[in-house]
Amino acid sequence: MQPIASRWVQPGQDRWLTGPAGRSAAPWRLLCIPHAGGGASAYRPWEALTGPDVELLVAQLPGRESRFPEPALDRVAPVVEGLAAALGRLAPKPTLIFGHSMGAMIGYELAARLVREASPHAPQTLIVSGRTAPGSTSTLGDLLGLDDAGFADALAARYDGIPAALLADRELMAVFLPTLRADFRMVADYRPDPTGCPRLPCPILALGGADDIHAAPERLTAWRDFTAAGFTCEIFPGGHFYLAADPARVVARVLAARTTAG
């Protein structure tokens, strides 16, 4: 019998973060940052897989789900600003930051900012998923010049995580396209913050799919150069959205980072 999902709340009524109610006293915090176009609901299955000893928080960015009326942001800096401020309003505790695809990019910049500011919220471990290291060449700019129909078709051809029903419904797709375009512009224009922390003092765990053409396993190892602590890379079966196929295995590996974090 599947456990009944609890109500998700915004800690302190903060619109940037959401997660299962009743876990504020948990000794560990896991902050998850979704992929381009994704909302906090992408991590709903993780609620039953993390347990009461982990405060699961998920970033809710503007332009999706509960923040759909807000215009999506197309630069990394204001996203990091919003998330850093939201964390600053919470009591500090040992934290893991997990980001998938665009979320990994944001997670790295957030970790670098927290370290630079000597924040008590700086992560014990940064976990990057399905994303090459900062400085990698992006080809997403080619998509941004396409009209809506061409942009939607290109997304369908390149990525396997967009629901077929959404792609088939052009009117519905048109509603989500501004957010998707803003996210892809953020990724295409991203350059590491030169005032950041190029080598984090925490370990980095890089995860990816064996068949991911956007973040091939051999390219994930470049994250090694962004930590002054330990680096580990682990590959799972599947493509870019490998984590949806076997979330239990992925979450178990993420939570195991608590032991290596000390």
Contact between 27 and 53 under an 8 Å Cβ cutoff? The reply is: yes
101 assigned to active site? yes
Q: Which single residue is written with the structure tokens 């419904």?
A: 169
- 41, 101, 119, 129: the catalytic one is 101
Indicate the residue type of 208: G
DSSP state of 40: G
For residues 12 and 68, what is the distance between their CA atoms, to the nearest angstrom?
Answer: 20
- Two structure tokens written together for 87: 């964390």
For residues 176 and 200, what is the distance between their CA atoms, to the nearest angstrom?
Answer: 35
For residues 176 and 41, what is the distance between their CA atoms, to the nearest angstrom?
Answer: 15
Q: How far apart are the first and last CA of the chain?
A: 35
Supply the residues annotated as catalytic. 101
